[in-house]
Chain A
Amino acid sequence: MDLTFSESEEQFRSEVREWLTVNVPKPALPSGDTAPGFALHLEWERKLFDARYSVVSWPSDLGGRDATLWEWLIFEEEYWLANAPQRVTQNGIFLLAPTIFEFGTAEQQRRLLPKMASGEHTWCQGWSEPNAGSDLAGISSRAVRDASAGGWRLAGQKTWTTRGAFCTHLFGLFRTEPEAAASGSRPGRHHSMTYFLVELDQPGVTVRGVERLDGDLGFAEVFFDDVFVPDDMVLGGVNEGWSVAMATTGSERGLTLRSPGRFLATAQRLIELCKERIASGGARDQAVQDRIVQAWIDAEAYRWQTFGTVTRLVDGAKSGAESSMVKLFWSELDVRLQELALELLGPHAELIDGDFAHWMKAYEFALAGPIYAGTNEIQRNVVAERVLGLPRK
């Protein structure tokens, strides 16, 4: 066991810190889930890319800097400590990109990844449908082969598509053998889907923004009416979309979507907020303070649990169903952290103008955590069945 970072890792940390100190926008950018906010965020993404900080762990010829997993964690810690903007590109770089690295051809990687890294292409996720949420394998949007045109024609509807109203591209699952799925026979529900990469600015695509709980147009419904997708925009094999998509859910739940740095930074800010409130004459509430300490311990626990996971990944292990415990833990921790801030703010908590408005915004965002990326009820089933070995039926 060696709990110190190497000299070059510490060097990397101070370079990142220095760059962020100079470059993080002040005051903070408005929400990236509105059209004008999204545009401002893209400018920030471009600045990150130009400094080669947008995708540090990617190969350098694709826009990254070949950072190790440890350096990526260091980058994330510094990023969130610096109060840098939420990444509006996250669903591309954290969810789709790992899948392209694993399943994409070399040509797809060269064609798609640099533009994702620069923010020229922005990606949203097209999984949920009106009748398929937790039961993702129940999707009915479909793709029909158009051999003469060398591609597929999509029809159907996706929903709850985060930032779908602003993104240029969508990655999603479509059924390529609807009869097999309907009959329940082999290849069955899970073996009749294909993973498609779809350009949204084209005939047949209709995007309708949906106002989210926090009032932003952060969701979208995306309708497909005879939308053409060429063969080179199929990721992985035809009818193999389910296993390709499951690789993405692994990243969404586990290591890459919500790094510990994010919660460590929030816990730190919560402690500062508590001190400020007391300094400005607020009453000291021992019970709330105990819960703040617990939330800070939990953020540390997440950090060290991640360090253990990364050590094993570096040793060559594969991440498994443990990622469901990770998703349960950070999503519920996030809610507790933001709730505590609202407790400290008391009657000021409801204000969505002024200096504290970001806490209510963050609370509303945190409440989505136990729902997206597979609800926490589904995660508990996964933990019980695949970590503890309880019977499915």
Chain B
Amino acid sequence: MRFEFSQEQFQFRDAVRDVLAKTCQPGDVREAWNNQTGRAPSAWAALHDMGVLAMLAPTEAGGLGLTELDIVLILEETGRCALPEPIVETALIAAPEGWVNGTDSASVSLPESPFGVWTDTCASVVTLTADGVRVAPRESVRLTQRESVDGARRLFAIDMGSTAPIAPVTSTALAFRRGVLGTSAQLLGLADRMIEMTVDYVKEREQFGVKIGTFQAVKHHLANARTKLEFARPLTYRAAASLASRDALASQHVSMAKVQSSDAASLAARVALQCHGAIGYTTECDLHLFMKRSWALERAWGAANWHRRMIAQSLFERL
């Protein structure tokens, strides 16, 4: 038993964190709220240059042939900076199956997450349904735009027209699990960032002549959020390992990951807002960029309770 990432996996994570700290600052996320595409092209290009987009693509297709376990920490970083890019859909779901290549991106929708994100600027559109996987070039599908509370997330209802399934139901299941895993990882990064921002804030902000971070009421909020995160991370990492080894219980493990990371991000967002006070309730404060991404991802790919009920089916199967 060894439940820890390798030095190489940590080093690559750190390298990606450094690059994203430069290319995906809060200003870049704000820019995505206001630009045509909702995306952050220089961050996307940097991730492509580092090989992140093709990490899971087979080596024959020019990829690195790596696994979910190798990318999970990277995806956590994309959450930490609220990267406005379809990285989960592209690097974790489409690239390993050859549904997308190069710097192209993919958008994915499914019954539990019916809106594609950034679909109008993605090369490939993928839908996951009970009868299999459909993949189509963007030009051949009909899109209806919807507006998200997260201004960077450009949402689209997707009509695949007469496109037939290209991949069997087993591929749907794997693609779904990957999407749940990637979203869980991003929620961990978001939770961590919101806690960090809030810790920084309460160490500076003074009331009654002292830093508000000295108040137990504030400390206890943040301790609760940090503890929740502490007991969410391991289940996401374990789910990544289960997917990488094609564990028979991988489906249950990714559901556990999503439950725990959704709830951790939800609490982190509430605590962050409360401890920021009124400044956190403005769009001038960066907090809302991370909070709104969390609100969206907590429910995308199955909300916590949806996944709890999935798990219940196996735990209570003999009923």
Contact = CB atoms under 8 A, between A and B. Distances in A.
Interface of A: 1-6, 9, 70, 271, 274-275, 278, 284, 289-290, 293-294, 296-298, 300-302, 304-305, 307-308, 310-312, 315, 322, 325, 328-329, 377, 379-381, 383-385, 387-393
Contact of B5 (A1, A289, A296): A1
Contacts of A393: 210, 214
B3 A304 contact: yes
Given A301-B231, A325-B231, A383-B227, 6 more contacts: A271-B316, A293-B315, A308-B4, A381-B220, A389-B199, A393-B210
Contact of B308 (A275, A294, A388): A294
Interface in B272-319: 305, 308-309, 311-312, 315-316, 318-319
B162 interface: no
Interface in B1-16: 1-6
Contact of A392 (B195, B214, B227): B214
Interface residues of B, number: 47
6 contacts: A6-B1, A297-B259, A305-B231, A308-B234, A322-B230, A380-B220
Given A297-B259, A308-B3, A377-B216, A384 B234 contact: no
Given A304-B3, A377-B220, A290 B308 contact: yes
A209 to B, nearest CB: 35
B248 to A, nearest CB: 13
A6 B1 CA distance: 7
Contacts of A290: 305, 308-309, 312
B316 A274 contact: yes
Interface string B156-175: 00000000000000000000
A388 B222 contact: yes
B226 interface: yes
Given A301-B231, A307-B1, A278 B219 contact: no
B203 A391 contact: yes
A2 B226 contact: no
Interface string B189-219: 0000001000100110000001101101011
A388 to B, nearest CB: 5
B95 interface: no
A289 B233 CA distance: 24
B308 A293 contact: yes
A389 B227 CA distance: 14
Given A325-B227, A381-B219, A384-B219, A2 B234 contact: no
Contacts of A70: 1
B260 interface: yes
B232 interface: yes
Contact of B4 (A278, A312, A379, A383): A312
Contacts of B305: 290
Given A293-B315, A381-B216, A388-B226, A300 B256 contact: yes
Given A3-B238, A383-B223, A384-B219, A296 B1 contact: no
The listed residue with most A CB atoms (<10 A of its CB), out of B199, B230, B233, is: B230
B69 interface: yes
- Among B226, B237, B241, which residue has the most Cβ atoms of chain A within 10 A? B226
Contact of B311 (A297, A329, A391): A297
B143 to A, nearest CB: 36
B152 interface: no
A113 B3 CA distance: 32
